A and B are shown apart, each in its own frame.
Chain A
Amino acid sequence: MKKQEPLIPTTSVVLPNGSGAAAILSAGIGSFMVALLAIAANKSAILKNLLVFYKPTGPLSGVSTTAILVWLIAWGILEWRWRKRNVALGRINAIALVLLGLSLMLTYPPVAELF
């Protein structure tokens, strides 16, 4: 006979929301950095050359690597500051989702070319 797993009530421990907020906001920042750096590299020849971290891939290597580094650093700092706290999650969610929406919009070439 199959052993039944114990069911644990969901309200036993409520963790502070800071850690989740840190992950959400930093993901918004990281996504936005992808779009921002892609546009910047397209506009500036100097930056475009600086962002060539791996020649066969071209500036995309620098755009993606820099955005990932900014995302992880932002995540680390926010996690360190917020992990034991409850923060204003509504406002942080709104900022993160605006950044994510902007990333979606700004990676679309016809929009990116407006800058």
Chain B
Amino acid sequence: MEITARSLWTLIHGMGFGALYLLACSGALVELYRRYSPKAANPIAPGDDNFLKFYLVVLSVLAWLTVLTGAYIIYPWYRAAAPAGAVYLSAFPQRLLLSNPATSGWHSLGMEWKEHIAWLAPISITMAAAVVIRYGRDLRNHPQLRAAVLCFTLVSFLASGIAGFFGAMLVKHAPVEGGRVIHLMHGE
């Protein structure tokens, strides 16, 4: 059983940071909606408040790690230019997708959308974290602030969902492969 270094990075980016972000973001949406609702009956314990602040900081770090590993580690491998006259394009995923009308849309729509929309996720969730850190329990007294934070967090979730979906489809149709081979275990 072996994996290439580029596949491992793709896994870390998508299944590690990205998927974890999506899962955690859904939890943040529920907590932001429930906890700071002006109609909520119970006061908020300081420990609970601090936990959500920490949770949102971790979420922001995850979002930044996802887009930065995507843009600066994996994307250069994805968009690498193939030498003139190259016939075997499996090491050049973008070229491979564009070489066939049945797969070109995964680049022209999928990657083109993913590479830009993904940046909305860290910007939005960093803002949400900053507002929750600044206001904390006081957000119950600012329903408009809470509503805006919820909308941005929802967009962050949607943006990362879209980027994640196209990321998975791109890996399926033109995986980023190559680099050092890492042997995980020997077969029987």
Contact = CB atoms under 8 A, between A and B. Distances in A.
Interface of A: 5-11, 13-15, 17, 19-21, 23-24, 26-27, 30-31, 34-35, 38, 54, 56-58, 60-61, 63-64, 67-68, 71, 89-90, 93, 96-97, 100, 103-104, 107-110, 112
A14 B113 contact: no
Contact of A104 (B108, B135, B155): B155
A71 to B, nearest CB: 6
Contacts of A57: 71-72, 75-76
A93 B148 contact: yes
B127 A24 contact: yes
17 contacts: A5-B47, A6-B45, A7-B45, A9-B43, A10-B44, A17-B144, A23-B134, A24-B131, A24-B152, A31-B120, A54-B72, A56-B72, A56-B75, A57-B75, A100-B152, A107-B117, A109-B109
Interface string B135-156: 1011011101101110110010
B71 A10 contact: no
A90 B142 CA distance: 11
Given A13-B138, A60-B115, A96 B148 contact: yes
Contact of A108 (B46, B113, B130): B113
A90 B144 contact: yes
Contacts, number: 133
B35 to A, nearest CB: 11
Interface string B40-81: 001111110000000000000000000100011001100100
Contacts of B140: 10-11
A96 B124 CA distance: 11
A97 B148 contact: yes
B159 interface: yes
B108 A17 contact: no
Contacts of A96: 148, 152
Given A6-B46, A10-B140, A14-B141, A24 B115 contact: no
> Chain A contact residues: over half helix, strand or loop, or mixed?
helix
Given A7-B42, A7-B44, A60-B116, 8 more contacts: A10-B43, A34-B119, A57-B75, A60-B71, A60-B115, A97-B148, A107-B113, A109-B113
B178 to A, nearest CB: 14
Contacts of A110: 109
B31 interface: no
Name which of B75, B112, B159 has the most chain A CB atoms within 10 A of its CB.
B112
A101 B21 CA distance: 21
Contacts of B45: 5-8
Interface string B93-131: 000000000000000110011011101100110110011
Interface in B137-184: 137-138, 140-142, 144-145, 147-149, 151-152, 155, 158-159
